[in-house]
Amino acid sequence: MWHMCSRCPYGLPRLDVVKVLLLVNGSASSVTARTRVLVRKALSREHDVTVAETSRRGHASRLAQGAAAANTDMVVVLGGDGTVNEAANGLVGTHCALAALPGGSTNVFARTLHTPDDPVEAIAVVLEAVRQGSIRRIGLPSVNGRYFLFHAGLGFDAAVVEQVEKRSSFKRYIGHPLFIWAGFATWFRHYDRSRPRMSFELADGSVVDDIYLAIVLNTNPYTYLGSKPLSVDPEATIDSPLSALGVKTMKLTPMMRLVTQLIKGDGSVSTNPSVTYHPALLDLTVTGHGPFPYQVDGDHLGDTEELVFQWRPDRLSLVVPMQSLRSPATQAVRQQ
Say if residue 11 is exposed, middle or buried (CB neighbours under 10 Å; 0-12, 13-18, 19+). Answer: exposed
CATH number for the domain that contains residue 243 = 2.60.200.40
- Tell me the C-alpha distance between 82 and 105, whole Å: 11
- Tell me the C-alpha distance between 177 and 106, whole Å: 12
Same domain (yes/no): 180, 297: yes
Could you tell me if 267 and 243 are in contact, meaning their C-beta atoms sit under 8 angstroms apart?
no
Q: pTM to 2 decimals?
A: 0.87
Could you tell me if 126 and 132 are in contact, meaning their C-beta atoms sit under 8 angstroms apart?
no
Q: Give residue-wise pLDDT tens across range 139-192.
A: 999 999 999 999 999 999 999 998 887 776 555 556 667 777 777 788 888 888
Cis bond before residue 221 (omega within 30° of 0): yes
Q: Which residues of 304-316 are buried (b: 16+ CB within 10 A; e: fewer)?
A: beebebbbeeebb
Could you tell me if 287 and 281 are in contact, meaning their C-beta atoms sit under 8 angstroms apart?
no
Q: By C-alpha distance, which of 292, 287, 276, 194 is closest to 243?
A: 276
Could you tell me if 35 and 78 are in contact, meaning their C-beta atoms sit under 8 angstroms apart?
yes
Number of compact structural domains in the chain: 2
Range of the domain at 176: 146-313
Q: Give residue-wise pLDDT tens across range 187-236.
A: 888 888 899 999 999 999 999 999 999 999 999 998 988 888 888 888 88
Same domain (yes/no): 27, 78: yes
Same domain (yes/no): 329, 281: no
Residue 94 lies in a domain: yes
